[in-house]
Amino acid sequence: MNSLPRPAAVAFDLDGTLVDTEAILIEAQRQTLMDFGITGLASDHPRTFGMGMEPGVRRLSEFYGLDYAKVLEVFRPNWTRLSATELTPMPGARTLLLRLKSDGIRMALVTSADPVHAQNALKALNVPGAFECVVDAEMVSRLKPSPEPYLKAAEHLGVSPQDMLAIEDSGSGVTSALAAGMRCVAVHVEVHERHELAPAHVKIRTLIDFPQFT
């Protein structure tokens, strides 16, 4: 697709969409499991990317048969340390943000991350004033795949969800955006192989490929 209808606003997911955090998440999990005597990840290690910290840690704990509260206590500082020092923008992220900002497109950040990580990511992106609205994990009662985070962003902007475009990299995020009534662009290097991204209206491999607005 060479173009998209110009939306009233664009809502971006954060982790895996704008900043590269999947490798950091895996490393934080690996370091955490080492504290419990588990060296190396299982071949069927659960995918928790895009779930938010507490749901992800819960799945991790259940998979390895560990106490959730103890794992969360160890995981949190590991994640905070790595996300404060190792974040880098995804390919094309800064260029796209600058382009949309220059074009006068209103933007929101909609993330399952905690506020500290969200701010660390914004520093790594280094596009001041890009986002008119930031919805993080502490601002909603239900995380993605619930539509609540995207609906809250639309409410904050005073825009109908049907007039917004969401950009996501995970199945839970796509489900959330579509349930909110938004059009959705899925971005992932394996976008055509990941069946959970199939419901998105548009599928691209990187933000470099993001279409123009008509």
- Under 8 Å between Cβ of 204 and 174: no
Q: How many CB atoms lie within 10 A of CB 86?
A: 16
Rounded to whole angstroms, how far apart are CA atoms 210 and 163?
18
pLDDT at 3: 81
159 in Cβ contact with 139 (< 8 Å): no
pLDDT for the residue 86: 87
Q: Which two tokens stand for residue 50?
A: 């895009």
Widest Cα–Cα separation across the chain: 55
Angle at CA of residue 34, ends 30 and 37, nearest 5°: 140
The model carries a pTM of 0.85
Q: Virtual CA dihedral for 214, 167, 111, 105, nearest 10 degrees?
A: -10
| The dihedral formed by the CA atoms of 118, 120, 126 and 131, expressed in degrees to the nearest 10 | 20
pLDDT at 2: 65
Question: In the chain, which stretches have pLDDT less than 50?
Answer: none
- The CB density around residue 62, as the number of other CB atoms within 10 Å, is 12
The mean pLDDT value of the chain amounts to 95
